[in-house]
């Protein structure tokens, strides 16, 4: 039996075990949602990937959340970013019953941490990748948070999808997106749709990549999966056109440069079997900021 066939059979068996134990899945919006082919094979490339490890952990008894967190957080800021995001959106009062939108929720890691900080809040995650959306729903069920966190499998850039979610969920006190919109070509429509889903006074926090004169856009597209990167000024104009009255930007380029280099170094030193594709992606991310003039930061847009 070849490796590809063996891997596929193991993958199917693991998926069946997981589905039998945790029945939760994401909420599909419309019938035209299709799974996407990942430009960055970070989570589902082999038996040492995040996607594989998370599923195996979900089958253990009792559930080891600290072990699970090792595969949920692999980006700048780690789980501390969850709290920092709430601070930036002015939604850090634990007594309040906030409604918070996560645009591009991945495995749901930020909302899980935020639900601990805000015991009365409710969260809505939107994830385009069906594999991630369904797995995040199972993680949330395993942690007993399914009454407070909903996951929709939908397209952030599709008006009909976002309108249907708004009809079901209403408007939100705040919204955030972490390194997601950089992968979407039509950033203007995403900004407009999120604006429509925010209440007056709400803040949209968008952690994103931008371009400068020297940014290698070919490398950004082929290795990082960036689409149609904009300059800082262009992003501010997109926000203004969507209706946001105030915008503030904090540059994180040097922070990301240091983080991506450190992450690559630490991963390369692991003595056990590792995901080679993940190692390649970590190197590409480090090179992007160190050699190809990648840049970006955090936008905070206010709907007044």
Which sign does the torsion angle of CA 224, 228, 231, 235 carry? negative
What percent of the chain shows pLDDT beyond 70? 87
**pLDDT (tens digit, 9 = 90+) per residue, 243-262?**
999 999 999 999 999 999 99
| pLDDT on residue 15 | 81
What is the band of 33 on the pLDDT scale with cuts at 50, 70, 90?
very low
What is the band of 45 on the pLDDT scale with cuts at 50, 70, 90?
low
- Where in the sequence is the domain holding 19, given as residue range(s)? 3-31+38-302
Preceding omega of 62 cis (within 30 degrees of 0): yes
Q: Domain total for the chain?
A: 1
Which range is most confident: 17-26, 63-72, 150-159? 150-159
**pLDDT (tens digit, 9 = 90+) per residue, 82-114?**
999 999 999 999 999 999 999 999 999 999 999
Q: Which range is least confidently modeled, 12-26, 64-78, 183-197, 207-221?
A: 64-78
pLDDT tops 90 at residue 32: no
pTM of the shown model: 0.91
As a whole number, mean pLDDT of residues 208-212 equals 97
The first and second tokens of residue 151, run together, are 């996951």
Assess contact for 82 and 134: CB atoms under 8 A.
Answer: no
| pLDDT on residue 78 | 63
| pLDDT on residue 56 | 87
What is the band of 228 on the pLDDT scale with cuts at 50, 70, 90?
very high
Give the CATH number, domain containing residue 44: 3.40.50.150
**pLDDT (tens digit, 9 = 90+) per residue, 159-197?**
999 999 999 999 999 999 999 999 999 999 999 999 999
């Amino acid at each position: 039996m070849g490796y590809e066939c063996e891997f596929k059979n193991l993958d199917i068996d693991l998926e069946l075990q997981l589905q039998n134990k945790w029945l939760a899945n994401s909420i599909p919006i419309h019938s035209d949602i299709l799974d996407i082919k990942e430009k960055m094979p970070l989570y589902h490339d082999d038996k040492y990937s995040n996607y594989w490890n998370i599923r195996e952990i979900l089958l253990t008894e009792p559930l080891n959340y600290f072990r699970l967190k090792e595969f949920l957080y692999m980006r700048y800021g780690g789980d501390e970013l969850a709290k920092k995001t709430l601070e930036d959106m002015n939604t850090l009062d634990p007594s309040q019953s906030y409604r918070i939108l996560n645009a591009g929720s991945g495995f749901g890691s930020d909302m899980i941490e935020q639900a601990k900080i805000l015991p009365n809040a409710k969260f809505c995650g939107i994830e385009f990748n069906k594999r991630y959306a369904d797995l995040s729903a199972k993680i949330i069920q395993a942690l007993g948070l399914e009454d407070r966190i909903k996951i929709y499998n939908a397209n952030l850039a599709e008006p009909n999808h976002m309108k249907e979610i708004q009809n079901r969920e209403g408007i939100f006190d705040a919204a955030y997106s972490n390194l997601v919109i950089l992968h979407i070509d039509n950033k203007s429509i995403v900004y407009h749709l999120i604006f429509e889903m925010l209440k007056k006074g709400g803040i949209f926090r968008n952690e994103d990549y931008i371009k400068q004169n020297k940014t290698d856009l070919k490398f950004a597209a082929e290795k990082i999966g960036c689409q149609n990167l904009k300059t800082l000024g262009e992003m501010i104009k997109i926000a203004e056109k969507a209706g946001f009255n105030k915008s503030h930007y904090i540059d994180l380029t040097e922070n990301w440069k240091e983080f991506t280099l450190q992450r690559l170094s630490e991963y390369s030193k692991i003595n056990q079997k590792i995901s080679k594709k993940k190692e390649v992606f970590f190197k590409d991310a480090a090179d992007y900021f160190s050699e190809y003039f990648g840049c970006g930061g955090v936008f905070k847009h206010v709907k007044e």
